Chains A and B, each alone.
Chain A
Amino acid sequence: MTGSSSGVEKTIWDHLFTALVAAIYIFLMFPIVLVVLLSFNSGEFLAFPLEGFSLRWFEALFSNKRFLDATLYSIQIAATSTIVNGVIGTLAAIYVARHATVFRDYIRLVMTAPLLVPEILTAIALLFYFYEIRIGTDYSIGIQIGHIVVTFPYVFLNVSSALFNFDRSQEEAARSLGAGGWMTFRRVTLPAIKPGIITGCLFAFVISFDIFNISLLLKSIGKNTLPLELFDYLRFNFDPTAAAIASLSIFMTFAAILIIDRTVGLRSLRF
């Protein structure tokens, strides 16, 4: 009897817990839904009630040269960060997993430091450094390096965990079958860690596309990334174009998640 009554109690708590989690998610997701709704609103203001469905703010966004340039600039920087990190993040993960011996833990810590140090501190440090070596913020190279540094750990960590879960005797099997080092890497190791690389790269892209502080401090004169352009715009305007930009960012993030799910499966995500 006591068993069944405690069983009922447990289900009540289960329902309460589910409700709590749902409430938290609704609270977190609500603004995102609002922004997306507002971006399709035909009204003049970034406010409720909604007046009707329209793509006019997206049209406004894409016909605005500043936004268009900023979007392309953001994509260019994010793509470069992704490609560079796809290579050096993977190589670094392989080095730490395979060859680092005495200082392995310290190297790992340094590699993930950009995640641990507040972004603004990284930005300030890089800013001082670039002025010190006389690059300053005259070129895109500064902001590009900043983005690479901040998104590096996502590739490094995902590839590291893929390597950690990889049974190295597969490589030895390939060697015993007569394959040299490069062929073993290309046909055995790389396919095994590919999910980690893809996941890490998509994260690097999305994060690079969205980050603000690094861009704000390191941007070169007259060139804005999309988040910066949005910030500038919102200081003087309050129309749904801003919502359209935000929606664009959200769509890109969802697209990334969709790509991860379709190519490597969401279960392979690890942090």
Chain B
Amino acid sequence: MTALTIDRINKRYGNLHILKDISIPIAQGEFVSLLGPSGCGKTTTLRCIAGFERPDSGRILFGVRDVTHALPEQRDIGMVFQSYALFPHMTVAENLSFGLEVRKVSVADRQRRIAEVLAMVRLEGYDKRYPRELSGGQQQRVALARALVIEPSVLLLDEPLANLDATLRDEMRFFIRDLQQRVGITSIYVTHDQAEAMVMSDKIVVMSAGTISQFGSPREIYERPVSQSVAGFIGRSNTISGKIAEALGQDSYKVETPCGSIGTTGPAGLAKGAEVKIMIRPENIRTLRHDAGISRQQRAGEAGHGDNALTGAVVNSIYQGSANQLAVKLGSGDRIVVDVGGRNPLDVGEQVTLRFAARDTWLLAS
């Protein structure tokens, strides 16, 4: 069931076209992240859903109810802000009570629900504290509790973790996700942090310059990005340019590149001769010393499981402790970054063979 429908909304500020025909269907209980660099329109989209901005055209539906022209207070939303936006002159309990008082909930029910929600965010016993007496993480949990205590139909989160330090941010990601799943509330989460979007979301909307670049599950977006900009924004990636030489199946192609012919996976329907970029994630490449590589390549060739092998020289080695990286320069001049795990027996200048499976590649339209 579609809990929330964003249907071709547009928003302009003067000459700036902030949102261009944005459509997003969101299912009941789903956690959807709007991900993109600042200025891509993600926050404006959220503010349109909340009712703080009104789209110039298009519709926003909560279930079957058209809320496009409803005021924020008529929408039944819970919202968590980057600045927390707690009421500083009210205690934690009074902050939580505010939305319930507006809804004319009885005193007894109010107290019960406040106690329940405080337990949910693990802040029992903090009800008499003022926001300034709490740490950043605690304030954020109060903000979350205040949004949830009114049992809204949609939870909106506007970069809620941006003001927290890195350790706390990691902890809060799982906390929010866990809470969201327990409550089962449809949630929309705005962030510019791709790692945050990846670990928390059911679906990610990748936005750029007022349009949706891609809408899909974290796995789809990571493994099957639709463009080089999406591939570059989510995680690290290498690309090699080439031309389609032959379609081997519905989604597998042989691509001719300056470093030779490469077996790849790609979206269906690419025509022969089309210019493409082959995307390979650094963690999907195995690195072997040149001599060792040749024999294995031959064995792989005999087995015929579509492995690719490229040769190059190590030009840079980055030590990061647990996950080290090598930059390898291919004969064609392309630089490829590969992950080599904790131990790195290869030195700069050594000749190496890079091996990767066709299924771990993805073709991007050039």
Nearest A residue (CB) for B100: A177
Given A178-B73, A178-B150, A180-B73, decide whether A173 and B81 contact each other with a Cβ distance below 8 A: yes
Which of A170, A174, A177 has the most CB atoms of chain B within a 10 A radius of its CB?
A177
The count of residues in chain B whose C-beta lies closer than 8 Å to any C-beta of chain A is: 28
Q: B72 at the A/B interface (Cβ < 8 Å)?
A: yes
Q: Are B87 and A188 in contact (CB under 8 A)?
A: yes
Indicate whether A192 reaches chain B with its CB closer than 8 angstroms: yes
A-B contact count (CB 8 A): 67
With A169-B81, A183-B102, A187-B98 as known contacts, state yes or no: A175 contacts B73, CB within 8 Å. Answer: yes
Q: Inside 8 A of B226's CB, which chain A residues have their CB?
A: none
Q: Are A175 and B71 in contact (CB under 8 A)?
A: yes
Are the C-beta atoms of A179 and B81 separated by less than 8 Å? no
CA distance A173 to B150 in the complex (A): 12
Contact B72 A172 (CB under 8 A): yes
B81 touches A177 (CB 8 A): no
Q: In the docked arrangement, what's the CA distance between A147 and B26, Å?
A: 60
When distances are taken between beta carbons in the complex, the residues of chain B under 8 Å from A188 are 87
Closest to B50 in A: A176
Residues of B contacting A175 in the complex (Cβ-Cβ under 8 angstroms): 51-52, 71-73
A265 CB within 8 Å of chain B: no
- A192, B87: Cα distance in complex, Å: 9
Report if A167 contacts B (CB, 8 A): yes
Q: Most chain-A Cβ atoms within 10 A of its Cβ — which of B52, B75, B98, B147? A: B98
Q: Is the CB of A176 within 8 A of B147?
A: yes
Shortest distance between the CB of A171 and any CB in chain B (Å):
9
User: How many chain A residues touch B (Cβ–Cβ < 8 Å)?
Assistant: 17
B278 at the interface (CB under 8 A from A): no
Min CB–CB distance A175 → chain B (angstroms):
4
Interface residues of B in 48-103 (CB under 8 A from A): 50-52, 71-73, 75-79, 81-83, 85-89, 98-99, 102-103
B144-174 interface with A by 8 A CB criterion: 146-147, 150, 156
Chain B hits for A183, CB < 8 A: 102
Tell me the bound Cα distance from A214 to B69 in angstroms: 52
Chain A residue with the shortest CB-CB distance to B102: A178
* A191 interfacial by beta-carbon distance below 8 Å: yes
Q: Which residue of B lies closest to A175 (CB)?
A: B72
A178-B52 contact given A167-B85, A172-B72, CB 8 Å threshold: no
Within the assembled complex, what's the spacing in Å between the Cα atoms of A106 and B56?
31
B102 A179 Cβ-Cβ under 8 A:
yes
The 6 closest A-B pairs by CB, nearest first: A177-B99, A169-B85, A176-B79, A175-B72, A173-B85, A178-B102
Known: A169-B82, A180-B73. 15 other contacts (CB 8 A): A167-B85, A172-B50, A172-B79, A173-B146, A176-B50, A177-B73, A177-B102, A177-B147, A178-B76, A179-B98, A180-B71, A187-B87, A191-B87, A191-B89, A192-B88
- Could you jot down 29 A-B contacts, CB within 8 Å? A169-B81, A169-B82, A169-B85, A170-B85, A172-B79, A172-B81, A173-B79, A173-B81, A173-B86, A173-B87, A174-B87, A175-B51, A175-B72, A176-B50, A176-B72, A176-B78, A176-B156, A177-B102, A177-B150, A178-B99, A178-B102, A179-B99, A179-B102, A183-B102, A187-B87, A191-B87, A191-B89, A192-B88, A192-B89
Task: Give B contacts to A, CB under 8 Å.
Answer: 50-52, 71-73, 75-79, 81-83, 85-89, 98-99, 102-103, 143, 146-147, 150, 156
